[in-house]
Amino acid sequence: MAVVWTPLESNPTVINPMIEKMGVSGVKTVDVLFFEDDSIGQPQHAVILCFPEYKKVDEIMKPIYEQAKAADDSVFFMKQKISNACGTFALFHSLANLEDRINLGDGAFAKWLAEAKKVGVDERSDLLANNAELTAIHAAAATAGQTDPSGEVEHHFICYVGKNGILYEIDSRLQFAREIGPTSEATLVKDAGAACQHLIQKLDNCKRESFPTRFQMAPKGKGGWQALESNPETINPFLKKIGVSGLECVDVYSFDEEMLQFIPTPQLAMILCFPSSEAREFLSKQYEEVEKNGKKPEGVFFMNQSEDIGNACGTFALFHSLGNLENRVNLGKGKFAKWFAKAKLVKEDERSDLLSEDTDLAEAHDETAGEGDTEQTDNVDYHFITYVNKDGQLYEIDSCAPFPRPLGSTSDASMIKDASVAIKELMNNVVNLNFSAMALIGK
């Protein structure tokens, strides 16, 4: 009988505890916003890549592997015989090929690897399937994610790992590890991006939207706040610090309809990150059309972002969400509620200055910003906006736009799906598809 595991969610908050439980140390996972991101720390050891439409990927990669150079026996490899375990195989392939650079310890993984190296590549999967301790660790991790496990899995995980200065692509469903070329601990992520670019370009609009990410919510600018990382593990504690309750942040992994069904309800808002310079021209035309038709909304909390607070677009997106959910969530009596009460009394173009002068919020913000995984950076060409459900209407709110943009009716069950219509239209008008999102869910 075939062995079937529960799919593993590609999320550092799931993977890192799993690594620790297996007894491995000296390495951690962080999400990648884009392959050219200079803020990613070093040394860079491996990239685990998740992509959709694995059957289409098979067609794309078949001729490449027919001409590929196979890695020698020094590269650890095993063929996958466990269904839905590709994420774990990608992780194990990475760790096994890093044994001389990280501490594998003497726990469950190290013990299994010692035995796995004694058998052939066809036997290693069975050895894993019969390992009760690793099976239990995987099962616990697979149920610790934010998305419900699905019976039908269309995505697939592979890894790119550096070993002895060479980059290898390792896909557990194929016959061997593929040698890519030279790499280093400073350039591995960029090198992996170059290696898989041909694949991403052929996957239509699914190119990047299925890849979970972490990203900085605002680069630090002159007079600005520190960058706040758009990570539920960072944002949820920040909400508590500013006195807000009744909602939580979760990652949005894909805008594909079959994946959206796994997002919990009620869906209140969604914060979107996208490449700014490419999208700006398209969005400007959308707002011009709204103004021409006289459809500018009233009764929606909005504030224009001033230069005094730097490029804090991510924080503005979060606060725009909260400001328009005051009747749906508990804003409490803390830092945000006190600022918000004053903000409603002043004009839209005065609210940004009111925020930059609020020392209580700034203190909570800076404290939270220091807890993120990614390094601060000053030169980032991406922007954050929010989509929020206010009184059954969906609005796109961009702190750099002149006003909120109405997008039609919505509901707590369909808000993310409804917003994805506008997002996909935007994606169809740009080349760089490094889009990422996080939803605000009522509880």
DSSP state of 211: S
Catalytic residue among 93, 313, 320, 365: 313
- Quick one: which of 377, 396, 388 has its CA closest to 442? 388
Rounded CA-CA distance 344/325 in Å is: 14
Per the annotation, the verdict on 86 as an active-site residue is yes
**Distance of alpha carbon 118 from alpha carbon 113, whole angstroms:** 9
CB 43 within 8 A of CB 129: no
Q: Let me know: does 342 contact 419? Beta carbons within 8 Å.
A: no
Closest CA to 26 of 104, 111, 87, 93: 104
**Secondary structure of 352-406 as H, E, C letters:** HHHHHCCHHHHHHHHHHHCCCCCCCCCCCCEEEEEEEEECCEEEEECCCCCCCEE
Detail the DSSP E strand segments found in 200-277.
215-216, 229-230, 247-252, 267-275
d(CA 125, CA 379): 44
Told to judge if 313 belongs to the known catalytic residues of this protein, a careful annotator would answer: yes
Catalytic residue selected from 86, 159, 249, 273: 86
Asked if residues 114 and 96 have their Cβ atoms less than 8 Å apart, the reply is: no
Supply the DSSP symbol for 430: -
Could you tell me if 231 and 373 are in contact, meaning their C-beta atoms sit under 8 angstroms apart?
Answer: yes
CA distance 230 to 245: 18
Asked whether 322 and 334 are in contact (CB, 8 A), the reply is no
Residue 367 contacts residue 323 (beta carbons within 8 Å): no
**CA–CA gap between residue 136 and residue 17 (Å, rounded):** 13
Residues 6+ apart with CB under 8 A from 13: 144, 232, 233
Q: How many residues does the chain have?
A: 443
Q: Are 250 and 261 in contact (CB under 8 A)?
A: no
CA-to-CA separations, 228 to 14, 66, 78, 221, 366, in angstroms, rounded? 21, 45, 40, 12, 8
From 45, 93, 365, 383, the catalytic residue = 383
Does residue 320 have an active-site annotation?
A: no
Choose the catalytic residue: 45, 138, 155, 156.
156
Residues with Cβ within 8 Å of residue 152, at least 6 apart in sequence: none
**Residues annotated catalytic, as ranges:** 86, 156, 313, 383
